[in-house]
């Protein structure tokens, strides 16, 4: 199992502004919360060549530079809601993509969504302008500066020896169980969030919290911080409006769990490896 999740993409160098001309330009085309499907016959992701961007008739006045990968400049462009083409949701794509493509497309979706929701200053209502140096929008009237917003959340595998506690969210596909997760609230430490979420969702207490890794989750702007937490006490009591079911599963007899694109799967697999199951 990789020590890191997702495996680090050492080839991508993020930057808020293009440093100049690139020998090659690659475009990720966004429509609403979807991206233009650029998988080839083998399922590999091939971005739109920059030279073809003129055919998009993009609605966004701003074309966002994302960064460089092996000398090529990567951009995100938003098209109109009625633009015709094969668009796909990144969640649906996820299982078929390498992590570095998933993350780069996620980056495009987040930057576009941020730009879309920061067109006007939240303080004085003036139209915002793109910051000259930073990934930020700045108000020319009151100087309010807005950076892309991230919503940190915890995700944790609760375990006790050869059992793991997995839950079914009301929104999950039939039969699917996963680790527990929840957003950090203002004023909370991450450790506090973890204990509160586990207590709220399934009623148990945890101890020996251990951080393992993180994953950007661009739906629309989460940053998932992944943990293992040891069971300390209490019986399972469901938070019924959110959790359809939660149970202790033996590590050698797990239900349907998320695919390898999700950090929840990595948290589970890492524990299975520790217990000698895989």
Tell me which of 121, 165, 194, 243 binds Zn ion, using CB under 5 A: 121
What is the longest distance spanned by two Cα atoms in the chain?
61
Could you list the beta-strand ranges (E) of 131-221.
137-138, 145-146, 151-160, 163-169, 180-183, 205-217
Tell me which of 44, 46, 124, 278 binds Zn ion, using CB under 5 A: 124
Residues in 133-192 that interact with Zn ion by CB under 5 A: 139, 141-142, 144
Phi, psi of 118 (to 5 degrees): -130, 40
Tell me the site size for Zn ion, rule CB under 5 A: 8
**Nearest distance from residue 137's CB to Zn ion, in Å?**
10
Q: Does 128 bind Zn ion (CB under 5 A)?
A: no
Return the number of the residue (100 or 116) whose C-beta is nearest Zn ion: 116
Q: Does 123 bind Zn ion (CB under 5 A)?
A: yes
CA distance 225 to 148: 18
CA distance 72 to 19: 11
Tell me which of 13, 52, 85, 126 binds Zn ion, using CB under 5 A: 126
**Nearest distance from residue 110's CB to Zn ion, in Å?**
23
Q: Taking contact as CB under 5 A, which single stretch among the options 42-50, 114-122, 236-244, 256-264 is the one that binds Zn ion?
A: 114-122
CA distance 194 to 182: 8
DSSP 24: E
Return the number of the residue (62 or 72) whose C-beta is nearest Zn ion: 62
CB 107 within 8 A of CB 216: yes
CB 216 within 8 A of CB 106: yes
Return the number of the residue (70 or 132) whose C-beta is nearest Zn ion: 132
**Nearest distance from residue 264's CB to Zn ion, in Å?**
40
CB 154 within 8 A of CB 182: yes
Q: Does 48 bind Zn ion (CB under 5 A)?
A: no
Binding footprint of Zn ion on the chain (CB under 5 A):
121, 123-124, 126, 139, 141-142, 144
């Amino acid at each position: 199992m990789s020590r890191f999740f997702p495996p680090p993409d050492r080839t991508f160098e993020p930057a808020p502004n293009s440093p100049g001309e690139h020998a090659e330009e690659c475009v990720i085309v966004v429509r609403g919360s979807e991206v233009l499907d650029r998988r080839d016959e083998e399922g590999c992701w091939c971005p739109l060549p920059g030279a073809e961007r003129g055919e998009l008739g993009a609605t966004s006045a701003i074309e966002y530079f994302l960064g460089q990968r092996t000398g090529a400049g990567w951009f995100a462009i938003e098209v109109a809601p009625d633009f015709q083409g094969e668009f796909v949701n990144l969640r649906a794509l996820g299982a078929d993509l390498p992590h570095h493509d998933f993350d780069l497309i996620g980056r495009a979706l987040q930057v576009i969504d941020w730009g879309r929701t920061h067109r006007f200053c939240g303080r004085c209502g003036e139209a915002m302008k793109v910051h000259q140096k930073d990934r930020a929008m700045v108000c020319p009237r009151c100087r309010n500066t807005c950076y892309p917003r991230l919503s940190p959340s915890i995700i944790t595998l609760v375990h006790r020896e050869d059992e793991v506690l997995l839950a079914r969210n009301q929104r999950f596909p039939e039969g699917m169980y996963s680790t527990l997760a929840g957003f950090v609230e203002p004023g909370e430490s991450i450790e506090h969030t973890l204990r509160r979420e586990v207590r709220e969702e399934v009623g148990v207490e945890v101890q020996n919290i251990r951080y393992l890794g993180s994953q950007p989750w661009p739906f629309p702007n989460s940053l998932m911080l992944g943990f293992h937490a040891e069971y300390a006490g209490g019986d399972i009591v469901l938070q019924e409006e959110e959790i359809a079911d939660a149970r202790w599963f033996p590590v050698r007899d797990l239900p349907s769990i998320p695919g390898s694109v999700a950090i929840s799967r990595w948290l589970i697999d890492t524990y299975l490896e520790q217990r000698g199951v895989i």
